[in-house]
A and B are shown apart, each in its own frame.
Chain A
Amino acid sequence: MTHHTYMWAEMLALLTITALTLAYLWAAARSGPRQRPWSAWRTMSWLGGVALVVVASAPLLTTLAHHDLRVHMLQHLLLGMFAPLGLVLAAPLTLTLRTLPVAAARRVIRLLRSRPLRWLSHPLSALALNIGGMYVLYLTPLYALSLHSPLLHLGLSIHFLVAGYLFTWAIVGPDPVPHRPSWRLRVAILFSAIAAHATLAKLLYAYGWPRGAGIDPAQREAAAQLMYYGGDFAELLVAITLFASWYCHSRRLRTAAALRTS
């Protein structure tokens, strides 16, 4: 029964990703009469993000991850950190808004301004969902439970993909965010995320979490280091994106100022 539900849920998740990708490609291929063509970089970024999701959720990897925490950690890094960066940099919301008719686009914007989405897209709540979720998963018996329930495992994968997307969107997304917080707050939150992630990796190594799943200590230590350095690399990419946007923005400001004075 549970297995049946799991199969359906997994099918639904895959169908959703496929449908979103087809919609993205369709919207990217057509541009209105007064619109510039959609950037090929953004399209490639979306496809890259989707490819990472597909690789991370491939049945082979999932089977291996069941017995090996290192593979689980790799899946987790791909789903929760690298894939979201690709998807966010593809600016799907901007593409949606420019493709939809004006009335529908206005409705999307109203939806974005709604209270739940404003809360969800705030970097602080995204941070809590993302890194907080990891602390709960690894420092409680939840991880051991997820090994016995494919449905729970799928739910967690979706949670980390969505939480990773929200976090990356709120911090560095090219898409509009309802109430984007100040630049300083975003840097401070990215700083907290890196610190919390590195600390969690060392906690796993030092205190032998996740427990209750009969994991070989050497394997757990390797997984913790993968989390530490892999997370570093992903966060380095996010930091570069954040500061690069500041750099480009300051160039635009300077050009605008130069145009005004001349």
Chain B
Amino acid sequence: MTTKQRNQRPARQSLWAAVLIGSGIMAAIDEIVFHQLLGWHHFYDRATPLIGLLSDGLLHAAELLAIVAGGFLLAELWRSEALAPRWAWAGFFLGAGGFQLFDGLVNHKVLQLHQIRYGVVLLPYDLAWNIAGLLLLCIGSGLVLRAKAGMRHDELADTRQH
């Protein structure tokens, strides 16, 4: 088995486990900070269509399972010494940014589940929300590039040794 093959599986698994955690944690932050602490979002805003309630329920279930599944997957990788931290960090930011952008575009705008805040001009809030999501995604992509470079570096070191 070459180093490349040996490294790819843990890398992919670390990335995806952390994507689950990142998106789940972003969803939890949304729930705790914006719903509970700031009270900007509402539990239900009296304008949500029925299909929105259903998709909200599905998304909610996905978030809850994502945190638990991601946590145990990472623990399993850690225990079997197959955790690739650089890939895991990349996955975490990709998951967090991906969820933030999905929430901002699909949930707030397409499905109109709820808005970020009520009784204010929404545009700056929407922009800040989605730009924050994009930034997290950019950080995640940057970390993916770094992890890839790290992997090439390892391979090179490996071929030199032989």
A residues adjacent to B (C-beta < 8 A): 187, 190-199, 202-203, 205-206, 221, 224-225, 228, 232, 235-236, 239-240, 243-244, 246-247, 250-251, 254
| A202 partner residues in chain B, CB cutoff 8 A | 43-44, 53, 56-57
A174–chain B nearest beta-carbon distance, Å: 17
With A247-B72, A250-B76 already in contact, the answer to whether A198 and B65 are too (CB < 8 A) is no
How many interface contacts (CB-CB < 8 Å) are there between A and B?
66
B10–chain A nearest beta-carbon distance, Å: 15
- Say yes or no: A239 contacts B48, CB within 8 Å: no
With A206-B53, A247-B72, A247-B76 already in contact, the answer to whether A239 and B64 are too (CB < 8 A) is yes
| B43 partner residues in chain A, CB cutoff 8 A | 202, 205, 221, 224-225, 228
Which one, A190, A195, A244, contacts B72 given CB within 8 A? A244
- Say yes or no: A195 contacts B76, CB within 8 Å: no
Bits for B56-98, please: 1 = Cβ < 8 Å to A, else 0.
Answer: 1110111011001101100110011000000000000000000
| A225 partner residues in chain B, CB cutoff 8 A | 43
Kindly report which residue of chain B lies nearest to residue A237, judged by CB atoms: B68
| B57 partner residues in chain A, CB cutoff 8 A | 194-199, 202
| B53 partner residues in chain A, CB cutoff 8 A | 199, 202-203, 206
- Say yes or no: A235 contacts B64, CB within 8 Å: yes
Kindly report which residue of chain B lies nearest to residue A254, judged by CB atoms: B80
B123 at the interface (CB under 8 A from A): no
- Say yes or no: B44 contacts A206, CB within 8 Å: yes
B46 at the interface (CB under 8 A from A): yes
- Say yes or no: A205 contacts B44, CB within 8 Å: yes
B37 at the interface (CB under 8 A from A): no
With A199-B56, A206-B46, A228-B43 already in contact, the answer to whether A247 and B64 are too (CB < 8 A) is no
